Amino acid sequence: MQRIGVLTSGGDSPGMNACIRAVVRKAIYHNIEVYGVYHGYQGLISGNIEPLNVGSVADIVHRGGTMLYTARCPEFKTDEGQEKGIAQLKRFGIEGLVVIGGDGSYQGAKKLTEKGFPCIGLPGTIDNDIPGTDFTIGFDTALNTVVQAIDKIRDTATSHERVFAIEVMGRNAGDIALWSGIAAGAETILIPEDGYDINDIVNKIQRGINRGKKHHIMVIAEGVGNADEIAARVKELTKSDLRVSVLGHIQRGGSPTVADRVLAARLGARAVELLMEGKGGRCVGILNNKVVDEDILVALSNKHKIDHSIFKLASEISF
Ligand code: ADP
């Protein structure tokens, strides 16, 4: 393999830049040229592709976002779109492609590989919802952002003796809510993987008030439903001074944590090795602190699962 490409696709996440840097530097270390594909699959179709050198990825390891930009590209879901992409890759003499993104981006990488162009998928998303890996690049940074925000909300919740419902991201996964909730000592955590009983929440708040608690923090994953509606029902039943805070896109930005930077470096480097070994159609992840790879098709057929033991633990230590 003489020349590879790298792109970021779908929702961005902190650590994507550290991952691009690792791919570029690892390839150059092994005398392989690297081209950057800008704006995800959209840029692949239109040929928005440029060579990257050692200096192109200088000074980005600590920056959130992605220097290659990202996009959603419906055209790439079609055969014509994918064939246009392959034609562009051939035009630039690129022989393998590293795709950093979520499960949608993995689908695109799988399609290219099926059409004979080797691609490797790397899990870049804050949601931690990609199968084949314990953690995705950006999850840890998002968690730290959320926990900092909850710590601040807790201060004002205590001062005013309020209940707070805090909505966090995660698409259909409850990982951000669960991990941030346990780290911030939230009394209630609602995740889409588990149902909830509004009366349990109401009773818990009441018990807390009875023993003199000054606040009650509910962390609600966006996949559970509308936080305003859930909060309105809780407010009505408890007659408490309840406020809602939707954290929003703040969770997608910021300087990546050490954990995300190191994960990005390890996974990015492995992607290059796989292409050097002539392998495509694989996704790379981390399982039990070991870098692993598996067939993208197999990974996508296994749904990501939440760790229910952590969910149980959260309810045992925060009430
Ligand atoms: P994420 O990668 O974060 O899950 P999306 O689901 O939006 O984000 O997917 C990103 C892009 O990947 C899409 O805009 C599209 O270009 C490509 N993609 C998604 N699904 C497919 C598919 N089934 N086949 C080919 N490309 C796909």
Last residue of a domain, one of 252, 286, 309: 252
**Residue 158 shares a structural domain with residue 119:** no
Same domain, yes or no: 162 and 95: no
**Whether residues 192 and 111 fall in one domain:** no
pLDDT at residue number 251: 98
Ligand 1 test: best mutation among 42, 76, 83, most atoms within 8 Å of CB? 76
Same domain, 134 and 10: yes
The CATH number for 233's domain is 3.40.50.460
Residue 197 shares a structural domain with residue 267 = no
d(CA 165, CA 177): 12
Q: What's the pLDDT at 272?
A: 98
- H/E stretch holding 143 reads helix 139-160
pTM of the model as a whole: 0.97
Let me know if residue 318 belongs to a domain.
no
Mean pLDDT taken over the chain = 96
What CATH number did the domain enclosing 68 receive? 3.40.50.450
Domain boundary pick from 192, 217, 252 = 252
Question: Atom 12 (ligand 1): residue with closest C-alpha?
Answer: 105
Query: Are 212 and 266 found together in one domain?
Result: no
Which residues make beta-bridge pairs with 243? Answer: 164
In a domain, 309, yes or no: no
Task: From residue 273, give the alpha-carbon distance in Å to each of 33, 81, 227, 261, 316.
Answer: 14, 28, 44, 19, 44
Ligand 1, atom nearest to 72 Cα: 14
Mutation choice for ligand 1 from 66, 70, 107, 139, CB with most ligand atoms inside 8 A: 107
Q: Which residues line ligand 1 (CB under 6 A)?
A: 9-11, 41, 72-73, 76-77, 101-105, 107-108, 111, 125
Distance 267 CA to ligand 1 centre (A): 20
Ligand 1 centre distance from Cα of residue 104 (Å): 3
Both 22 and 115 in one domain: the answer is yes
Per-residue confidence band for 151, with pLDDT thresholds at 50, 70 and 90? very high
Is the per-residue pLDDT at 153 higher than 90?
yes
Tens of pLDDT along 287-313?
999 999 999 999 999 999 999 999 999
Based on the domain organization, do 204 and 85 belong to the same domain? no
On whether both 47 and 109 belong to a single domain, the answer is yes
What pLDDT does residue 127 have? 98
Q: Is 183 exposed, middle or buried (0-12, 13-18, 19+ CB in 10 A)?
A: middle
Q: Are residues 162 and 212 in the same domain?
A: yes
Give residue-wise pLDDT tens across range 16-29: 999 999 999 999 99
- Structural domain including 226 reads 140-252
Q: What share of the chain in percent tops pLDDT 70?
A: 100
pLDDT of residue 318: 86
The single residue of 103, 127, 175, 260 carrying the catalytic annotation is 127
Of all protein residues, the one whose alpha carbon is nearest to atom 16 of ligand 1 is: 73
pLDDT at 319: 79
Q: Does 269 reside within a domain?
A: yes
Nearest to 216 by CA among 232, 194, 233, 238: 238
Whether residue 12 has pLDDT greater than 90: yes
Predicted local distance difference test score (pLDDT) of residue 311: 94
Give the Cα separation of 39 and 45 in Å (integer).
10
Report how far apart the first and last C-alpha atoms of the chain are (Å, whole number): 57
Question: What is the distance between the alpha carbons of residues 160 and 6, in angstroms, rounded to a whole number?
Answer: 50
Q: Does residue 133 share a domain with residue 262?
A: yes
CA 72–ligand 1 middle distance (angstroms)? 7
User: Structural domain tally of the chain?
Assistant: 2
DSSP 275-317: HHTT--SEEEEEETTEEEEEEHHHHHHSPP---HHHHHHHHHH
Is the pLDDT at 120 greater than 90? The verdict is yes
Distance 108 CA to ligand 1 centre (A): 6
127 catalytically annotated: yes
Using the predicted structure, report yes or no on whether residue 68 has a pLDDT greater than 90: yes
**Is residue 306 domain-resident?**
no
Residues 246 and 207 in one domain: yes
